[in-house]
Chain A
Amino acid sequence: MTKAFEHDAIRAQFPTLSQQIDGQTLCYLDTAATSQKPQSVINAVNQYYQLNNANVHRAAHQLSARATRDYEAVRSQVQGFINSNRVDEIIFTHGTTESINMVAHGLTAQFDKDDIILVDTAAHHANIVPWQQLAKQTGAIIKPIPLNDDLTIDVDAYEQLLSLAPKLVALTHVTNALGTVNPIIELTQKAKQAGAITLVDGAQAIAHFAIDVQQIGCDFYVFSGHKMYGPTGVGILYGRYQILDTLTPMLTGGEMIKTVSFNGTEFGSLPNKLEAGTPAISAVIGLGAAISFMSDLPSDLVEQHEQTLLHYLQQQLDQLGDISLYGAGPNNVGVVAFNLAGEHHQDVGILLDQQGIAVRCGHHCAMPLMQHLNLKGCCRASIGLYNNKQDIDLFIDALRKVKELLL
């Protein structure tokens, strides 16, 4: 059966989007920072607190059994959603940042002085700073992967760096500042051939197209729930079992142990070993609802809708004039980065905000990329599946007024 794609009906499921900001229709173009949530996700979180609130994995009573059942059901949902091999390869974290920190911390004991770590120049700080911390502690060396003029990864330079036999390669599936989609299967395969451990930051990819971690072949894939229509406070660390099981737990304490005595403690097995303490149960339940929401939509039509919108956005910005676009290609996903002539990105952001337009202005947690572009920052408009052509028209119209005022 073909799944229906009635855009107005889908958009109507997002209550935040129907509000007015200072008497003007809200135009939300900041999904790359966080997505809005459909009613079904809000309901799921609510329902957990109204009916099933209990701690998980302590199923001595019915409520706890229900909470544990629902919590673990989401783990299976995530497994299916990204096609991992085993359900215990899915670890619930608080978000992408925590996931990467857990891997960096967990691998520290396996690193020696002068081991090499390759990091994407266009990476989010969350995929740079944890590696720097690891390097500081072990004497490992960070080497940035250079970019081409069009801001895609320079594959020739990448291959040369791989010939140095790096211990780990930290990649980005879709860059958060620019929306560049990296050839992740190719990059991962090359890293694996060079014998490196691979981690892929999928935070900006997960909401926009299907992810198959086995097809990518990476050791770790990480993302956040709140960027894929789910709640804040929950993220995923996927790890290939053999290597995930070698991570030293970053957090220790309750839930993650097998036995504890004052002579010593034996850790439990995956996934509990890496989920110390009470998890964000309601957020995990909400993430399950978000996956159901996304899975009920025809993914090919959603992708098509988003690409049509993004191309329209790129084209309208280009036509407006006096706009610099950064790394804007036809294959980008979700994001357009721009500046208006020589104007400060913050001035543009303040004046767009006056008109009910929500975009992000700043360095987008990608300072090394901004340094590479010789920019202080830029504006970023980003879309989700709920945006429509009217949003783009409102935005362009507002930006035209900003341009009239500033130039």
Chain B
Amino acid sequence: MPLNDKVSQAVLAIQQATNWQDKYRQIMLVGKVLAPLNETFKVEAAQVKGCESQAWLYHYQEADKHFFCADSDSRIVKGLIAILLDATHGKTSAEITSFDLERYFSHLGLSGQLSPSRTNGVTALANAIKQFAAT
């Protein structure tokens, strides 16, 4: 089950973008599709550490499928989260565990955003998602 058709379309547009402006415009647009988290949920306990920006991640499970709510105060990070969720939201533990983050991002032409030395926290978010799916 895709997160949202709009997200999936935008992810395609990111892949097809020919310059950094288009790519990042699309990333920020896809972030807007995610509903903003209510301020009362932006608490430290839900924060994913390892981001220069603030990012919050919530998880719930229905039957064998995992669902996520997330937000960030950075527009680009929020877009990157939406891209992550497009690949993981509504998936089973097995699907999420076998999800190859590096391949997925490099397919989108975004592998530069993934190195552990980057402070955008995408790797930390992906690890947090995998941790939820594993428990």
**Cα-based distance from A345 to B119 in the complex (angstroms):** 12
Interface digits, A35-58 against B, CB 8 Å rule (1 contact, 0 not)? 000000000000000000000000
Interface digits, A289-326 against B, CB 8 Å rule (1 contact, 0 not)? 00000000000000000000000000000000000000
Q: Are A344 and B24 interface neighbours, CB within 8 A?
A: no
User: Residue B97 at the A interface, CB < 8 A?
Assistant: no
CB distance from A79 to the nearest CB of B (A): 37
Residues of the B chain whose Cβ atoms lie less than 8 Å from the Cβ of A361? 52
**Cα-based distance from A347 to B25 in the complex (angstroms):** 12
CB distance from B110 to the nearest CB of A (A): 11
Q: Are B52 and A377 interface neighbours, CB within 8 A?
A: yes
User: Residue A375 at the B interface, CB < 8 A?
Assistant: no
CB distance from B22 to the nearest CB of A (A): 10
Q: Are B74 and A347 interface neighbours, CB within 8 A?
A: yes
**Cα-based distance from A350 to B25 in the complex (angstroms):** 13
Partner of B24, one of A343, A345, A351: A351
Q: Are B20 and A354 interface neighbours, CB within 8 A?
A: yes
**Cα-based distance from A21 to B20 in the complex (angstroms):** 14
Count A/B pairs, Cβ under 8 Å: 40
CB distance from B105 to the nearest CB of A (A): 14
Given the contacts A362-B52, A377-B52, A346 and B24 also touching, CB distance less than 8 Å: no
User: Residue B40 at the A interface, CB < 8 A?
Assistant: no
Q: Are A347 and B75 interface neighbours, CB within 8 A?
A: yes
On chain B, the number of residues with a Cβ less than 8 Å from chain A's Cβ atoms is: 15
CB distance from B116 to the nearest CB of A (A): 16
Given the contacts A362-B52, A376-B73, A346 and B21 also touching, CB distance less than 8 Å: no
CB distance from B33 to the nearest CB of A (A): 17
User: Residue A9 at the B interface, CB < 8 A?
Assistant: no
Given the contacts A362-B52, A377-B52, A350 and B76 also touching, CB distance less than 8 Å: yes
Given the contacts A361-B52, A376-B73, A377-B52, A346 and B119 also touching, CB distance less than 8 Å: yes
Residues of the A chain whose Cβ atoms lie less than 8 Å from the Cβ of B53? 344, 346-347
Give the residues from 85 to 135 in chain B that come closer than 8 angstroms, CB to CB, to chain A: 113, 119-120
CB distance from B75 to the nearest CB of A (A): 5
Q: Are A350 and B73 interface neighbours, CB within 8 A?
A: no
User: Residue A96 at the B interface, CB < 8 A?
Assistant: no
CB distance from A366 to the nearest CB of B (A): 14
Residues of the A chain whose Cβ atoms lie less than 8 Å from the Cβ of B52? 345-346, 361-362, 377
Q: Are B21 and A350 interface neighbours, CB within 8 A?
A: no
**Cα-based distance from A363 to B25 in the complex (angstroms):** 26
CB distance from B32 to the nearest CB of A (A): 13
Q: Are B74 and A346 interface neighbours, CB within 8 A?
A: yes
Q: Are B20 and A355 interface neighbours, CB within 8 A?
A: yes
User: Residue B77 at the A interface, CB < 8 A?
Assistant: yes
CB distance from A363 to the nearest CB of B (A): 9
User: Residue A405 at the B interface, CB < 8 A?
Assistant: yes
Q: Are B20 and A346 interface neighbours, CB within 8 A?
A: no
Residues of the A chain whose Cβ atoms lie less than 8 Å from the Cβ of B73? 344, 376
Chain B residue nearest to A353 in the complex (CB) = B112
**Cα-based distance from A406 to B27 in the complex (angstroms):** 12
Residues of the B chain whose Cβ atoms lie less than 8 Å from the Cβ of A354? 20, 24
Residues of the A chain whose Cβ atoms lie less than 8 Å from the Cβ of B24? 350-351, 354, 405
Residues of the B chain whose Cβ atoms lie less than 8 Å from the Cβ of A143? none
Q: Are B119 and A362 interface neighbours, CB within 8 A?
A: yes
Given the contacts A361-B52, A362-B119, A377-B52, A346 and B25 also touching, CB distance less than 8 Å: no
**Cα-based distance from A376 to B75 in the complex (angstroms):** 15
User: Residue A401 at the B interface, CB < 8 A?
Assistant: yes
Residues of the A chain whose Cβ atoms lie less than 8 Å from the Cβ of B120? 346, 350
Residues of the B chain whose Cβ atoms lie less than 8 Å from the Cβ of A346? 52-53, 74, 76-77, 119-120
**Cα-based distance from A22 to B54 in the complex (angstroms):** 28
Residues of the A chain whose Cβ atoms lie less than 8 Å from the Cβ of B75? 343-344, 347, 406
**Cα-based distance from A401 to B77 in the complex (angstroms):** 19
CB distance from A25 to the nearest CB of B (A): 16
Q: Could you say which of A343, A350, A355, A405 has the most chain B C-beta atoms within 10 Å of its C-beta?
A: A350
Residues of the A chain whose Cβ atoms lie less than 8 Å from the Cβ of B21? 401, 405
CB distance from A362 to the nearest CB of B (A): 5
Q: Please give me the 5 A-B residue pairs with the lowest Cβ-Cβ distance, nearest first.
A: A354-B20, A344-B74, A346-B52, A346-B53, A347-B76
Can you list 11 A-B pairs, Cβ within 8 angstroms, ordered by A? A344-B73, A346-B52, A347-B75, A347-B76, A347-B77, A350-B113, A361-B52, A362-B52, A376-B73, A377-B52, A405-B25
Extra 18 A-B pairs, beta carbons < 8 Å, given A346-B77, A376-B54:
A343-B75, A344-B73, A344-B74, A344-B76, A345-B52, A346-B119, A346-B120, A347-B53, A347-B75, A347-B76, A347-B77, A350-B24, A350-B76, A350-B113, A354-B20, A362-B52, A401-B21, A406-B75
